[in-house]
Each structure stands twice: as C-alpha cells, then as structure tokens.
Amino acid sequence: MLQQTFAIVKPDGVARGLIGEVLIRIERNQLKIKALKLIHMTQSQVQGFYAVHKERPFFSSLCAFMSSGPCVVMILEGENAIARWREMMGATNYKDAAAGTIRRDFATDIEKNVVHGSDAPETAAFETGYFFNALERV
C-alpha cells in the first residue's frame, strides 16, 4: 500500500551533523521525500505536536529538548512507508534498537534519539498536516 509518513531529524541529530546521514539512508531505502524544511519549534508548538504524550512523566523534558534547536521535518512516501521508516529508525530506546538502525547507530539517550516517525496512518495524517500546507508538498 502506497503510504505517506512524517519524519523528523531531531535537534540532537541536526546539532551533531547527522542530517546528511539520515537523508542518505532514506534515499537508499527508496523512500521518496515529498516535503522537507528546517524549523525551530517553540515549546508550545512542540506541545501541540506531542499532545498525545502530555500525561507522560517525560513530557516537559521532551518539549524542552525538541525546542532546543532546529529540526528537519519531512514527509516520506513509499510502499508501507510508516512501518519501513520505523524499522529504519529502530526502537525508542537505542539500547533495544536492532543493529544497523539509525537509533542504534547514533542515539545517545532514550530521549535524544535522533529521529521521529509516525506510528499509524491517523498520526501520519495529523503530523504531516501540522507542519506542511499544500504548497509545501510535491
């Protein structure tokens, strides 16, 4: 099934010079980039994006981290793009992530885990719409 998903290179990834590394992996895995920009979110913009996590103990730390510097936000498209991008990212906790995944190779912390990916079609639709309007997509 042809799908779109939403991806982020988080502030730790951008600060550490990992934008190119992530983009190379995306292109090598035949996911098409349909939208892309560099943004620096405010805390309240992050709160809106991560609203599903607002009751979690790590929420305020996560919002501070995600607004600490610029991120690259993207829409990716391909067959089963949601699952394929999550597989490329690896588990949330890099210690549990499979060999060869982005988080296993580069994450330093359960929070500072380099990349984000939507977890379902409904969240992908919400997240792509949160960051991109029609003119920003090809």
Given the complex with ligand IDP, which of 47 and 113 has the nearer CB atom?
113
Query: Can you spell out the DSSP letters for 80-133?
Result: THHHHHHHHH--SSGGGSPTTSHHHHH--SSS--SEEE-SSHHHHHHHHHHH--
The option from Mg ion, ligand IDP, none interacting with 62 (CB < 5 to 8 A, set by class) reads ligand IDP
Touching Mg ion, residues 90-119 (CB under 5 A): 119
Cβ atoms of 58 and 136 closer than 8 Å: no
User: Does 58 interact with ligand IDP (rule: CB under 6 A)?
Assistant: yes
HSE of 35, CA atoms in CB hemisphere, 13 A: 21
- Of all residues in this chain, which one has the CB nearest to Mg ion in the complex? 119
Q: Residue 134 CB, nearest distance to ligand IDP (Å)? A: 26
Segment interacting with ligand IDP, rule: CB under 6 A, options 20-28, 32-40, 113-121, 125-133: 113-121
Alpha-carbon gap, residue 50 to 93, rounded angstroms: 18
Residues recognised as catalytic:
116
Q: Which of 88, 89, 94 is closest to 109 using CA atoms?
A: 94
User: Does 119 interact with ligand IDP (rule: CB under 6 A)?
Assistant: yes
Number of residues that bind ligand IDP (CB under 6 A): 9
Chain residues in the site for ligand IDP (CB under 6 A): 53, 58, 62, 92, 110-111, 113, 116, 119
